[in-house]
């Protein structure tokens, strides 16, 4: 999957719009491309497209849409694995990259938190 393909997914568009709205600005092209590249790499790592990543975490109940808590924990662990893989000696770079992925999920309605750095 290319960065341009990743950019076309509804969940990616929702994330970019929400992120820009939250920070009251739009991302510069270089920052946008960096974020899209991180998501492209994460999708490859998770072997799912962006919409499938988000869709996998929600279920319908009689009272409305709910988050699958077990799947959420699995996704959080996968993000931690991705962070460790990216870090390869640079903890800060790994955390910043993983936070891009966390931001994607948060702006698509899935609250995630990072394990505190030691």
> What is the C-alpha to C-alpha distance for residues 54 and 39, in angstroms, rounded to an integer?
12
Domain ranges across the chain: 3-106
Give yes or no for a contact between 27 and 66, defined as CB atoms under 8 angstroms apart: no
Say if residue 115's pLDDT is above 70. no
Q: Which pair of structure tokens corresponds to residue 87?
A: 């870090």
pLDDT tens sequence across 59-68: 999 999 999 8
> What is the C-alpha to C-alpha distance for residues 20 and 14, in angstroms, rounded to an integer?
10
Give the percent of the chain with pLDDT over 70. Answer: 86
- CB-based contacts of 82: which residues, under 8 Å, 6+ apart? 41, 42, 45, 46, 97, 98, 101
Against a cut of 0.85, is the pTM above it?
A: no
> What is the C-alpha to C-alpha distance for residues 69 and 58, in angstroms, rounded to an integer?
9
């Amino acid at each position: 999957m290319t960065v341009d393909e990743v950019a076309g997914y509804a969940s990616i568009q929702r994330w970019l719009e929400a992120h820009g709205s939250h920070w009251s600005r739009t991302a510069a092209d270089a920052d946008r491309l960096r974020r899209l590249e991180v998501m492209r790499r994460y999708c490859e790592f998770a072997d799912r497209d962006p919409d499938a990543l988000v869709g996998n975490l929600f279920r319908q109940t009689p009272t409305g849409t709910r988050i699958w808590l077990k799947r959420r924990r699995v996704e959080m662990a996968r993000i931690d694995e991705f962070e460790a893989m990216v870090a390869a000696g640079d903890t800060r770079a790994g955390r910043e990259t993983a936070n891009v992925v966390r931001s994607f999920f948060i702006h698509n309605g899935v609250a995630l938190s990072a394990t505190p750095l030691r």
